[in-house]
Structure formats: C-alpha cells, structure tokens
C-alpha cells in the first residue's frame, strides 16, 4: 500500500490553501463548542450563523477569484488581500 499521498500531487500553495480552510473550520468548531453563537441578522439578506457567514464569504471569494483571473492581469497577492478582507467583513458585519 502506498500511503505517501503522491497520487494527490500536492503543491505548496494548494496545501496552504486546503490546510488553512481545514484549520479555520476546525477552529470555528472548537470556538462554537466553547462559546455557542446565535443566528443573527447583519447586512446579508438572511439571518446567519458564523458558519454560514464563513461559507458565504469563501463561496463569493471563489467568484471574485474567477473574475480576477478571467478579466484582469493584476498580481494575485492583491487578490489575496481583497479576499481576506472580504471574508473578514462578511464574518464580522454579515
């Protein structure tokens, strides 16, 4: 048996990407257990929990990424800043 995960052809950027999402989800699960949060209404049209807001933030970020890569030639690190800010905004005020 080959347990080396070579078949998954990992790269450093994708490992960081998947790793950070997994870590954030796990951290939010722990946070939710320690101090449970309520559904609330922010600027988003529906009442949301922190998990909903994270999901919506990441999903919309995917569309921002597609627009960025598909329509512009700007460097990706600017996109990363924008996306992180966007997810934070959704998480805090969404």
Partner 1 sequence: MWVSVLGVRVSGDHFNLTRYGGLIMEKWPNNRAWLLVLPVFVIVAFSAIIPLMTVINYSVQDIFGPGQSVFVGTEWFGQMLGNERLHDALWRQFLFSGLVLLIEMPLGILIALAMPKKGWGVPASLVTIALPLLIPWNTIGTIWIIFTRPDIGLFGYGMNKLLGIPFDHTATSLDAWITVMLMEVWHWTPLVALLAYAGLRAIPEAYYQAARIDGASAWSTFLYIQLPKMRGVLTIAFLLRFMDSFLIYAEPFVLTGGGPGNATTFLSIYLVKIALLQFDLGPGGAFSLIYFVIVLLFSFIFYQALQRVGKGGTV
Q: Cβ–Cβ contacts within 10 Å for residue 48, how many?
A: 19
Q: Considering CB under 8 A, how many residues would be counted as binding partner 1?
A: 30
Q: Which of 27, 30, 31, 32 binds partner 1 (CB under 8 A)?
A: 32
Question: In the complex with partner 1, which residue's Cβ is closer, 62 or 88?
Answer: 62
Dist CA 58 CA 15 (whole Å): 17
- Check residue 59 for interaction with partner 1 (CB under 8 A): yes
Dist CA 20 CA 31 (whole Å): 16
CB 54 within 8 A of CB 84: no
Residue numbers at the binding site for partner 1 (CB under 8 A) = 6-11, 13-14, 17-18, 32-33, 35-39, 41, 46-47, 55-56, 59, 62-63, 65-66, 69-70, 76
């Amino acid at each position: 048996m080959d347990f080396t995960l070579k078949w998954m052809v990992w790269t450093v950027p994708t490992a960081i990407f998947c790793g950070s999402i997994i870590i954030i989800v796990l951290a939010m699960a722990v946070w939710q257990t320690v101090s449970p949060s309520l559904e609330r209404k922010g600027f988003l049209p529906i009442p949301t929990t922190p998990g909903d807001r994270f999901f919506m933030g990441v999903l919309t970020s995917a569309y921002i990424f597609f627009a960025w890569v598909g329509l512009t030639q700007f460097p990706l690190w600017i996109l990363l800043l924008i996306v992180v800010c966007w997810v934070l905004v959704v998480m805090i005020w969404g």
